[in-house]
Structure formats: C-alpha cells, structure tokens
Amino acid sequence: MDSLPPPIVIRDINEQNIDETLQRLRKLNQDDNKKYRVYGIWSCQSRQCSNEWESLYTQKSFKVYLDKTEFHSFKRKCWMCNSKCQFSSIQLYEQQQMSKESNVIQIVRQLVNSTVYSKYLVYGHWICRNWKCGHKPQCRNKSECQDKWQYQNKWKCPHNRRCHKVEQCRKKMCNCRCRYYLSNHERHCQNKWTKLNEWKCNHESKCRNEWECQWECKCQNEWLKKYTLEELEKYQSSEKNFRQLCKECNQWSQVSSFRLYTQQPKNKNEIPAIEIICHLGWNNHYRVYGDWNCCGCDVSWPSAFTWISLQKFMDEIPGESLNRGDFYTQKCKKCENPENKILEYAPLKKAEGKKPHTRGVCIKCLYYDSCRQTGTYLGLTS
C-alpha cells in the first residue's frame, strides 16, 4: 500500500478567524482535482462539561454543510448539557481510489487466483431472508406487509389522520433545519423520531434485537451449491451469476458467503474450514476482529473493524506475519502514532455489547469509506 498524503489540519477555530476559515474550506472543497473527506472534532464550550464528539463528512455532504454555516458559524448545542459547541479542529483527508467491483466479484476473483482449490472444496452458501407474508388474509405486497409489522412493533403514527406509510409519517415529522437532509436527517431530528418510535417486542419470549423480532416474517430457506474452478472462472464477470431463485418463497437471493470444506459436507450446518462472508468484504480487504499493538508507546487495543487483505485471509496468513501493505492501519489513541501492527486476528463473532468505532484513528474511515455495520450473518460457529 502506497504512503498516504498527510491531512490538511485547521486548528483553533474561533470568532476572529471564522470568515477566513470558511473561505479556505470553500476553496478546498471546490477543487476538482482532489476530493476530501472532512473529519471534525466538536467541543463543548461550557466549563462544567468536557464533552467532545466527532463528525465525518464526504465532500458532497460537507459542501451542503458549508452552504448553511452563515446561520450558525460552526456552532450547535451540546447533546449532554445543551450549552454552545463548536468545531475545535477540522482535518481534510484526500479521498483515495477504491475498487468499483462488487464484494462478490472481488471474492470470486481472489478464489480463482489463490491456491484454495489445492486444499479445499468451494461451495456457495445462500441465506434467503426475503420478506414472506404470514398475515391472513395475505397482504397485497411487501410494502403493505412491512408497514403492518412497523405499526405493531415500532412505528406509532401521532397524526389524527393516520399515515398509510412510514415514509409519509417521517416526512411530516421532520424538523431538520435544512431540507437537504430529508433523506439523511440531522441528529436532533433523528433522535426525536427514534425516541417516539422505539422498537418494542410483542413476543412472549423477548427478542434481542429488531432483526430477530422480524424472524417469523422472513423466509428461512438456506442452501449450498458446489463450484468448480472452471465454473468460477466462467462466472467471475458478473455478480448476477451468483443470484439464485429460492424454492420456498420464489424470490431471488444473492449468495451470502463462500465456504471452503476439506471434504464434501453432509448438510448446510456442517462447519467449514474457512467461510468468506460477502458483506464483510470491501475493496479487496476483509473485516475481522484484530488485536493491535502500538509501535510507538506499546499500548494494545482490540478492534472489530480491522481490515486485512482478502487474499491473506484466504491463505490463512497469521496476524504477526502480515506486512504493512496487507491491512489498513489504525492510529494509536494515546500517542497518535499511525504505523502500528496487528498481533493476531480472528473471524468476527456476535458480541453482547459493543463500543462505538472511533473513526478519527481509522485510516479506512479517514481516507476511503466509513466503517459501518453491513449485515447480521457472521458465519457458522461450533
């Protein structure tokens, strides 16, 4: 991996230099030759509160933000004490190129070019979770069925004339200051909506999350299909080749993962030697749980947003043997050293609780694309 350009850092933003800062940011944001990802730290101005939080913008969303700064000049209310907050620093990171191929095609190309076929049998694994109406009488379409579930378990329309759709109700209740945010609501607007429409499970045995609560409304069919090397070479041109029609609900499903077995599996529940889950792939890298160590101050930390080379994951290269270009590094929170190493890594597993991902230390978030939860399936476990 090539060395990354250093960020443009703007510190000590205040009333005296706000106009100059805005002018500089607008000029940088209009540069057609470079695109920036903008990372900012908000700081509460109250002496009794030391609250800080981060914001990360794409070039497009930051342009929208700059267009309305005349109304608040980088100020907003602290969500802890309601006092005035403002940006204490802004950092602009030059956006780096990413692969335009889908996760599925990236995985297939790596399987074709790797040595896995010398050790394993490769199977595609499908999990159909298409919406499957269980109401009597049957709903006319998927949208009607989903709205019924929302109204029973989550969405509570407060209007005298009840809205027929969630989107209609959401639009009426939007109180964002800027209409650009109708599809991506501001925090205060989203918090109000979430509070009024909290998910509540109506099952006798309470579900752990919303996805689990919808289980009975979704198709539960799963199946495997074996792929030879010749078939993968033939199908690697398009991810449409990895869509199959579910026999239970008669709807199309995309392949969920590729499983590598040492011998022919007896059924779909047999645990594979390696499972490559499609939604965990990104830009020819794969998301794992990693243990990190700082090369500057010897601090260690775990991270569930560790991204290593997809090829190295398939080849089962241990964490201590990974080179600098085999993973996206993370900065140390203590000394801010950017050159750190992975001690070991393991496939992701479901966790009871989770800490928020700190985007300000993640090179992937700052230079490429924000880390986010992309799916709930994390593979078979013993």
pLDDT at 265: 93
- Give the angle 145-214-305 at the CA atoms, nearest 5°: 125
Tens digit of each residue's pLDDT (9 = 90 or more) over 230-258: 999 999 989 999 999 999 888 899 999 99
* DSSP H or E run through 222: strand 222-227
Q: Using pLDDT thresholds of 50, 70 and 90, give the confidence band for residue 187.
A: low
Q: What is the pTM assigned to this prediction?
A: 0.79
Tens digit of each residue's pLDDT (9 = 90 or more) over 34-71: 889 999 888 887 878 888 888 888 888 888 888 776 65
Burial 247-258 (b: 16+ CB within 10 A, else e): eebeeebbbbbb
67 contacts: CB under 8 Å, gap ≥ 6 = none
Tens digit of each residue's pLDDT (9 = 90 or more) over 85-133: 888 889 999 999 898 899 999 999 999 998 899 999 999 999 998 887 7
pLDDT at 227 over 60: yes
Q: For residue 175, with 0-12 CB atoms within 10 Å meaning exposed, 13-18 middle and 19 or more buried, which class applies?
A: exposed
Residue 298, phi-psi category: left (phi > 0), alpha (psi -120 to 50), beta (remainder): left
- For residue 53, the cross-strand partners are 42
Burial 285-302 (b: 16+ CB within 10 A, else e): bbbbbbbbbbeeeeeebe
Q: What is d(CA 75, CA 79) in angstroms, rounded to the nearest whole number? A: 12
